[in-house]
């Protein structure tokens, strides 16, 4: 029985590699988004903490705290924009990964269909050979009688 050789195996390997690379990019993008969320959360926590402290203390401390809160507010806005960009980037990597998976599965389906066809053909050839051997055996045994 012959071994199955898939002509598009190199293409399948290339697509698998591209999918793996896309998975890595997706994971990196996902981690960057998580880090951006943590950073934004930390900034918001600091803002809440210092906005409560602003009520107490001398006028100079209140002015310093207000300036810090204004700076934090700008940082929060920047972190929010960065988070939005990271979410967009993550969604783009998700779509790219999904497309790479579809491409790989398309070639794998072709491989599976060709392998099934090859197996069927091999089984039919083997069955035909067995039938011929049985027929020759039958003819020999009937001829000897």
Burial class of 145 by CB neighbour count within 10 A (0 to 12, 13 to 18, 19+): exposed
Domain parsing of the chain, residue ranges: 17-144
Q: What confidence tier does 129 reach under pLDDT thresholds 50, 70, 90?
A: very high
pLDDT for residue 145:
64
Report whether pLDDT(54) > 80. no
The model's pLDDT over 10-52, given as tens digits with 9 standing for 90+, comes to 999 999 999 999 999 999 999 999 999 999 999 999 999 888 8
pLDDT for residue 142:
84
Say which CATH architecture domain 17-144 belongs to.
Orthogonal Bundle (1.10)
In order of 4, 14, 47, 100, 110, the CA distances from 11 in angstroms are 16, 5, 53, 12, 12
Report whether pLDDT(97) > 60. yes
Contact call for residues 43 and 76 (beta carbons, < 8 A): yes
Contact call for residues 89 and 26 (beta carbons, < 8 A): no
């Amino acid at each position: 029985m012959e071994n199955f050789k898939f002509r598009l195996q190199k293409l399948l390997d290339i697509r698998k590699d591209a999918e793996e690379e896309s998975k890595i990019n997706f994971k990196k993008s996902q981690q960057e988004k998580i880090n951006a969320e943590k950073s934004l959360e930390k900034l918001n926590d600091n803002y809440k903490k210092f906005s409560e402290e602003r009520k107490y203390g001398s006028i100079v401390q209140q002015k310093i705290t207000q300036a810090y809160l204004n700076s934090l507010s700008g940082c929060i806005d920047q972190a929010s924009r960065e988070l939005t960009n990271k979410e967009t980037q993550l969604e783009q990597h998700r779509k790219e990964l999904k497309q790479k998976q579809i491409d790989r599965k398309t070639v794998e389906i072709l491989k599976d269909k060709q392998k099934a066809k090859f197996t069927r053909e091999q089984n039919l050839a083997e069955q035909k050979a067995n039938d011929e051997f049985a027929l020759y055996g039958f003819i020999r045994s009937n001829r000897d009688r």
